[in-house]
Amino acid sequence: MNGLSDMAQVIPQAADYVRILPEIVLSVFGMIVMVLDPLMGERRSQKTLGALALIGSLAALIATLFQSQYPGLAFWNMVRVDSFSVFFHFLVAAVTAVVVLTSYEYMEVQGIRAGEYYALVLFGAVGMSLMSSAVEFMRLASRRDRGASPRCATARRAMRAWPCGSCR
């Protein structure tokens, strides 16, 4: 019986996956772009992969709206979904769609194979979205006290780093 409850604590619940749904959507579309890029011709790949990246960013917008209905902590309190993170998820997905739209014509005119570019844009959006809901990042960004964090003190001792603005 004890082993069963331990296993239940190790396996993430379905709500945990909903709380990172925009990141999952962007990652899946980024991987699809990377897989399809070498399989397509140069002319055809720019239009198709650009449209696929745009669909992925729009799907991330929809996933963000769905994610906003499930606020709370996920993945052992490492990810928090609240109004702050939902706003930045929406902002990142919208900016990603605008970047894909504005670079679509440029990629076609220059004749550049666009697969790596579109995948990089999507994966960059994954990182930005995940940082907006990371609990540890929020703790560091919203610290009220000006004391040195243990991480900064260790970095100073180990690497003799110059003190930065956040490591006072």
Q: Look-up: residue for tokens 């709380």?
A: 19
Q: Model confidence over 75-134: pLDDT tens digits? A: 888 899 999 999 999 999 999 999 999 998 888 788 777 889 999 999 999 999 999 998
Q: In this prediction, what percent of the chain has a pLDDT beyond 70?
A: 76
Q: Model confidence over 20-61: pLDDT tens digits? A: 999 999 999 999 999 999 998 877 788 899 999 999 999 999
In this prediction the pTM is: 0.77
For residue 42, count CB atoms less than 10 angstroms from its CB and return exposed for 0-12, middle for 13-18, buried for 19 or more: exposed
Torsion of CA 48, 30, 88, 60, to 10 degrees: 60
Domains and CATH numbers, the chain: 2-133 (1.20.120)
Cα-based angle 70, 72, 78 (whole degrees, multiple of 5): 125
